[in-house]
Amino acid sequence: MPKFFDPLNYPKATVAAVTILGSRLTFAGGTGGGTSGTAIISINGIANLVVATGVTNYDTSMVNWIAANLDFYYTKGFILTKGASAQVIVTPRYGWDTVNIITITTVGTQLTGTLIGVLEPDLAKAKTWHVTFGQNIVILRPKNMVNGDNIRLELNATGAFTTTWPTDSTAYYFPGGTEYVQTSTTLGTVTGTVNSDAFVREDRMTLTGSTGTANITAGGLTKLATFAAAGTTDLTQTAADFVTSWAAAYLAIGITVTATTGVLTFKVTSSDPKTAANFYAIPTIANVTTDLLGTIVSVPRGRVIMNAAAPNVIQ
């Protein structure tokens, strides 16, 4: 063992081999847009307590299935959450590695589904990941990132599966903005280095509701958000109005706030992410009247700075 051995940054298990199966299911297939048919859904071989039934549309069918099976799967060690339209996201209650080996299967004639797998590298467990695709996969932000960590992903896309990276550069930054694309069934390799100082933290607030007002607090400054005036009737305008009214006030305390399609994004303006401004409390929103509210997602600072790489080349 080296004299200055770092057990977190250089663990004994430096290589992990995983096969990524489907852990996100989106209803599809059948007839009637999800208004007919049933499907038995299993998670890691555990069949659902209540079968999925097509009603109204795919999204409603999935919402109903989640509600009927939420508690059942929680006792089995799985958490069901609503994802994109007609989609369920399955995550584990326990254990780091089960994120990477969850598999969903469906048995149905008219109501079926499409799958996507999820790779969540844990850099406290391994720096090099040998990944075999069992589905198209999305590669999430690594867990336990330490500044200077190197990550190496060897991607074996058997069956011509593809990769998707998190949007908005929340985890991986590719030179020139061109993401790595897995183009065939051969082995491809992509590498990167964790830079904790590359990007400051971002806090994203997705507005919800149909009318009313709410107090939004960021950096200790509270300002009122008001649902867009009659005739606009959408949260996109509500967010834009908030920025128009209060962006200058937040900028004065070192926080920028921008709006895109009903989402407010707060981040510090300092170019030095080590300043105290980077550690201000996550913004909050509190309803004042009617039902205007929101949900918060905080994106940690730092990114994996990826090396330029040609697809399907062993480096």
* Average of per-residue pLDDT values in the chain: 83
User: What is the tens place of the pLDDT at every residue in 53-69?
Assistant: 988 888 899 999 999 99
Q: Say if residues 241 and 231 touch (Cβ distance below 8 Å).
A: no
Flag whether 2 is in a domain: no
The CATH number linked to 39 is 2.60.40
Whether residue 188 sits in one domain with residue 158? yes
Residue 24 DSSP class: E
The band of 19, judged by pLDDT with boundaries at 50, 70 and 90, is confident
Domain encompassing residue 125: 120-198
Flag whether 234 is in a domain: yes
Domain limit, last residue, from 118, 152, 182: 118
User: What is the tens place of the pLDDT at every residue in 192-250?
Assistant: 999 987 777 889 999 998 889 999 999 889 999 999 865 555 899 999 999 999 999 99
Flag whether 12 is in a domain: no
Q: Which residue has the tokens 């009659």?
A: 230
Flag whether 256 is in a domain: yes
Please tell me which of 157-161, 181-185, 221-225 the model is most confident about, judged by mean pLDDT.
221-225
The CA distance from 273 to 254, in Å, is: 12
- The domain tally of the chain equals 3
Whether residue 105 sits in one domain with residue 138? no
The band of 187, judged by pLDDT with boundaries at 50, 70 and 90, is confident
Whether residue 112 sits in one domain with residue 25? yes
Flag whether 47 is in a domain: yes
Whether residue 251 sits in one domain with residue 161? no
User: What pLDDT does 11 receive?
Assistant: 47
Whether residue 249 sits in one domain with residue 191? no
Q: What mean pLDDT is predicted for residues 157-161?
A: 79
The CA distance from 9 to 126, in Å, is: 9
Q: Where is average pLDDT lowest: 114-128, 165-179, 291-305?
A: 165-179
Contacts (Cβ under 8 Å, ≥6 apart) of 134: 19, 20, 21, 22, 103, 117, 159, 161
Whether residue 287 sits in one domain with residue 226? yes
Question: Residue 101: pLDDT above 70?
Answer: yes
Flag whether 130 is in a domain: yes
pTM of the predicted model, to two decimals? Answer: 0.71
Whether residue 95 sits in one domain with residue 144? no
Whether residue 22 sits in one domain with residue 110? yes
Question: Residue 153: pLDDT above 50?
Answer: yes
Flag whether 9 is in a domain: no
Alpha carbon separation from 138 to 3, 46, 72, 86, 165 (Å, rounded): 38, 24, 27, 18, 6
Whether residue 112 sits in one domain with residue 31? yes
Q: Which of 216, 234, 235, 232 is nearest to 224 (CA)?
A: 216
Flag whether 254 is in a domain: yes
Domain limit, last residue, from 172, 198, 224: 198
Domain limit, last residue, from 57, 86, 118: 118
Q: Which residue has the tokens 């990941």?
A: 129
Whether residue 191 sits in one domain with residue 218? no
